[in-house]
Chains A and B, each alone.
Chain A
Amino acid sequence: MNPSVSRDFPAANRWHAGSRRCLVAALACGVTGCIIPTPWIDSGAARHNIRKETPGQFQPGRTTRAEVMLALGEPDAVAPDERKLAYRSEKICAIWLVGGSYSGGGGSLEKDDYLVFQFDAGGRLRKTERSSHWLTSAALDRKLGTTAPAASRRDAGIRTETRANWLSGVDDFKARGVTEAKWVPGKLVLTASELRFFSRSKFANAPPIFILPYTTITEASEDKLFIGSLLAVRTRTGKHYAFQIQGDSAWSIDRQALREIRDFLDSKIHRHPAVKDAAARSP
């Protein structure tokens, strides 16, 4: 398995990228279009309590992490070691329209503003950084500077990490009549000794929502659910876990990565044939 397999987590805004491509394609096909600047207004989807003057409220060397949060609220993202907190606002700055003979379309163009607070080991503010991103949102990991190079991931014992969806609420994903199944978007991390799944809806400083030591896994296979491919994992206690391994796009499935992970797990399972009935640990 390629130990350097890693994908940005989470990925850039696909919707915006798609609408930009549509706009370019439409214009290339001779369809007329225009971009109309608008007064900058908050989009309503992100926070609106971050302004140009906000960094001035805080003093490097004095302000604590708690004081920043008491003033600005829960951050939008945090580094796993909590040394960085990120706040994001989103403003609509223009609308675009395209039209042909009998059809037309349009959308908004946005600008994201980011404010990243960096803290020292004692939790005191070291510095703040403001930045902007036009049309698409910045990748969250890059904004926090937490995209670790392959070497440091290996040092941390991480063999691979990839975007994945976990099919939760279903012990046996093949069970008939299942109505409670839910895809949980997140990150699948394989270390030298265990499989970890982190939910995307939790902060990066949160523990994985479950851990499966390889000694508890009896089978890893590629399976089907409707027309999609799944990584199916079975444990010694008879529990089933199913994962959809995502490709570069949020909507695609990476079968190659799925098979690499399956083969990796398979090799780990066969290295521990003598281990008996160790239960999966759940924090």
Chain B
Amino acid sequence: MKTQLLTAALTTVLVFGCASSAPPQGRADLLDFLADGQTRQRQVLARLGDPSGRFEGGNILTYRLGYDPASKGYQVVEREDGTSGWPTWLRAKFSLVMVFDDEVLRKHSLVEVN
């Protein structure tokens, strides 16, 4: 009995101990709704949530995006603090930058950062 319990415990440790963290579950079509000259800022906020950065009084919004190569999916991730005080880009691969005029998307870019 003791041996079985020990084996079960060891197996559990091995299975969970060796399991790597799950890759980000992104969506390949996450950004498909973005269209310069058409998309409104409130649509962006409703779809993507709070941005990681707001600049120029909210006319520029930035999001950090993780990327899952297997599903080619994007996922919004939060800004990460590093021990040095500078943020890290460990979970984010892309930075989405959107520039608005009167709440309408004027221009956007998806920058590969890491």
Contact = CB atoms under 8 A, between A and B. Distances in A.
Asked if A and B bind, the verdict is: yes
Q: Chain A: interface secondary structure? A: loop
A247 B5 CA distance: 47
A74 B64 contact: yes
A47 interface: yes
B89 A45 contact: yes
Contacts of A75: 53
B53 A203 contact: yes
Contacts of A13: 83-85
A185 B85 CA distance: 10
A65 B52 contact: no
Contact of A47 (B83, B109, B113): B113
Contact of A74 (B52, B86, B88): B52
A93 to B, nearest CB: 16
Interface string A1-21: 000000001111111100000
Interface stretch (B10-18, B25-33, B41-49, B55-63): B55-63
A73 B92 CA distance: 12
Contacts of A192: none
B87 A48 contact: no
B114 A48 contact: yes
Given A73-B95, A74-B95, A137 B111 contact: no
Interface residues of B, number: 34
Contact of A49 (B79, B83, B85, B113): B113
A205 B79 CA distance: 15
A144 B1 CA distance: 64
A8 to B, nearest CB: 8
Interface residues of A, number: 42
B27 to A, nearest CB: 20
B56 A82 contact: yes
Interface in A53-78: 65-66, 69-78
Given A48-B113, A66-B99, A201 B107 contact: no
B7 to A, nearest CB: 32
Contacts of B95: 73-74
B72 interface: no
A139 interface: yes
20 contacts: A10-B84, A14-B83, A45-B89, A46-B88, A46-B89, A66-B59, A66-B107, A73-B94, A74-B62, A74-B97, A74-B113, A78-B53, A88-B86, A137-B84, A139-B85, A200-B85, A203-B54, A205-B54, A206-B54, A250-B83
